[in-house]
Structures are given as structure tokens and as C-alpha cells.
């Protein structure tokens, strides 16, 4: 199976709606390889991961890891050569009509039984003004996802709304942000293993807690327009939390 090219209909859909689900994009064998490395991150989460939903009532040593946040790049030294990574940049470039480069990835694992939603947010709310209309994310679930185990939801056309005010999520010690959205435009996106969801850096999105019987595992890949130089010129609400030391730093202006 070869990786697909973006067709005119997909490009038009993305530009109108701010998101796109590409069905059957990644071969199962390539996902198996990626998932093997993600399982290593789960097994070593105390050393290699943050808890993106670190409960304010828990000490750093006793974080319950309701969202395991790490990156397969830590354990897969040749990941940059993986076929899916090359494909993401090409496909994203067609959607954005910009020369796009891979920027960074995150493994986001939600355990069964004790997880948390990834609340509504826009990626630019985290990344700052540097990324204005210059970012896109390709979200790769490692199993089928639906509204029970934490699929993605997007606000239809929400990339046209500008950057919404964000704030920290109450009761969390992590840097998790959220914003208010008009849920009339909420589109839940169930996906099969092999599908990939793209969203524009201004598209509000969320995923629910995992109420299924098994881990919900996903690798989210962030891409930026060539020459952007990463995040910066942050919004006032942005803080960074070092989960090794517990130190919190306000970086926004
Ligand atoms: O996997 C999730 O729960 C959320 C992912 C997300 O917010 C993102 O990919 O930007």
C-alpha cells in the first residue's frame, strides 16, 4: 500500500472546515512499529513522560498519569526516516499551500479507567503568535477511536475565528489550557486504525476521557511552515511546567 496524495476535494474540505480525516492513510505495519515504541513510553512513563492532566491534589512522585505525554523520538532513534513522517510533511503542505516541515511530535496515551479530557483548545494558544496560520497537526490514533475512548472533536470552521482567549484548567498542575467554544459546531470524528486527522493550528479541538476498556494511544505530529522557527511571542495565559522539578514559569505577554 502506498501513502495517498491530497486530492482537490480534500484540500477544499480542509480549507473550508479547518480539519480533515484521511481514511486508510498509514499501513498497519508502519503503525505496529510506531506503537511498539509508544508502549515503551508507557512502560517507562515515570522516567520518560509528563502527566498532561497532573491533578493539583497529587504530589509529583505520585502523579497518576491521566494523560501520558511523551514523544516516540526519545526511544526511536531513526524515527525521522519513517515513511509516515515524510508523508505527513508532503500532505500537510498541500493542505496549507505552504512548504511545511515536521516540527515535533507527542505521544498522548489515556489509560482505561482513570483519564481526563483534553479540553477544547487551539494549538496556537500554546504556540504563540509566531505560528499564526503557519501550523498544522496530523493526529494518528493507534487503535480505533470513538466518543467512548477519546476520539478527536473539531469546531467546524473554527480556524476562521482568530485566537480565542485561553486559560489554565482548574485543578491541574500541568500546563493544560482551554478555551470556550460554541459546541453547536462540534464535530466528533470516530476513526479507524490507519486513518489520520489533520487540523489547522487555529482550529479548536478536544478529545474526551477514555471510558473504554483499553489504552487510547495516539501520536500527534506538529508541522510548521519552513522558516517559522518554532513557538514564541506567547499569549498571556501561557505557562510552562517542568515536571522533573515542578517549576512553573509564565512565558506569555
Ligand atoms: O490526543 C489528544 O487527546 C489531543 C490531541 C491534541 O490536542 C492535538 O493533537 O493537538
Give me the pLDDT at residue 246, please. 84
Ligand 1 pocket check for 201: Cβ under 6 Å: no
Residue 221: closest CA among 151, 154, 141: 141
User: How many domains is the chain built from?
Assistant: 1
Arithmetic mean of pLDDT, 199-207:
98
CATH number of the domain that residue 45 is part of = 2.60.120.620
Residue found under cell 480505533: 144
In a domain, 2, yes or no: no
In a domain, 183, yes or no: yes
In a domain, 224, yes or no: yes
Residue 145: closest CA among 217, 205, 203, 82: 217
**pTM for the complete prediction?**
0.97
Give me the pLDDT at residue 129, please. 98
In a domain, 1, yes or no: no
Q: How many residues does the chain have?
A: 253
243's grid cell:
515536571
For 91-100, the pLDDT digits (tens) are: 999 999 999 9
In a domain, 13, yes or no: yes
Are β-strands 118-121 and 166-168 bridged in parallel, bridged antiparallel, or unpaired? unpaired
213's grid cell:
476498556
pLDDT band per the 50, 70, 90 thresholds, residue 48: very high
Ligand 1 pocket check for 20: Cβ under 6 Å: no
Range of the domain at 35: 8-250
Residue 89: closest CA among 12, 6, 203, 195: 6
Residue 153 Cα to ligand 1 midpoint, Å, equals 10
Ligand 1 pocket check for 65: Cβ under 6 Å: no
For 3-45, the pLDDT digits (tens) are: 999 999 999 999 999 999 999 999 999 999 999 999 999 999 9
Q: Which atom of ligand 1 lies nearest, measured to the CA of 117?
A: 3
In a domain, 225, yes or no: yes
Residue 253 Cα to ligand 1 midpoint, Å, equals 25
In a domain, 205, yes or no: yes
pLDDT score of 127 more than 70: yes
In a domain, 3, yes or no: no
Residue 99 Cα to ligand 1 midpoint, Å, equals 23
Give me the pLDDT at residue 178, please. 97
pLDDT band per the 50, 70, 90 thresholds, residue 253: confident
Ligand 1 pocket check for 118: Cβ under 6 Å: yes
Amino acid at each position: 500500500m502506498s501513502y495517498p496524495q491530497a486530492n482537490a476535494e480534500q484540500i477544499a474540505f480542509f480549507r473550508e472546515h479547518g480539519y480533515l480525516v484521511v481514511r486508510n492513510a498509514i499501513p498497519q505495519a508502519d503503525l505496529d512499529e510506531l506503537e511498539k515504541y509508544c508502549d515503551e513510553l508507557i512502560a517507562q512513563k515515570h522516567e520518560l513522560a509528563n502527566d498532561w492532566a497532573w491533578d493539583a491534589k497529587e504530589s509529583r512522585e505520585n502523579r497518576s498519569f491521566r494523560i501520558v505525554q511523551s514523544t516516540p523520538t526519545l526511544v526511536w532513534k531513526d524515527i525521522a526516516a519513517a515513511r509516515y513522517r515524510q508523508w505527513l510533511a508532503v500532505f500537510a503542505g498541500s493542505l496549507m499551500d505552504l512548504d511545511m516541515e515536521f516540527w515535533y511530535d507527542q505521544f498522548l496515551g489515556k489509560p482505561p479507567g482513570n483519564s481526563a479530557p483534553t479540553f477544547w483548545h487551539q494549538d496556537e494558544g500554546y504556540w504563540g503568535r509566531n505560528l499564526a496560520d503557519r501550523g498544522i497537526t496530523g493526529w494518528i490514533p493507534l487503535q480505533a477511536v470513538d466518543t467512548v475512548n477519546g476520539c478527536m472533536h473539531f469546531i467546524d470552521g473554527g480556524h476562521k475565528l482568530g485566537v480565542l482567549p485561553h486559560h489554565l484548567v482548574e485543578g491541574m498542575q500541568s500546563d493544560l489550557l482551554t478555551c470556550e467554544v460554541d459546541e453547536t459546531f462540534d464535530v466528533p470524528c470516530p476513526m479507524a486504525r490507519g486513518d489520520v486527522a489533520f487540523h489547522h493550528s487555529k482550529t479548536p479541538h478536544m478529545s474526551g476521557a477514555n471510558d473504554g476498556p483499553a489504552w487510547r494511544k495516539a501520536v500527534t505530529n506538529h508541522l510548521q511552515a519552513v522558516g517559522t522557527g518554532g513557538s514564541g511571542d506567547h499569549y498571556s495565559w501561557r505557562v510552562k511546567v517542568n515536571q522533573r522539578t515542578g517549576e512553573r514559569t509564565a512565558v506569555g505577554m
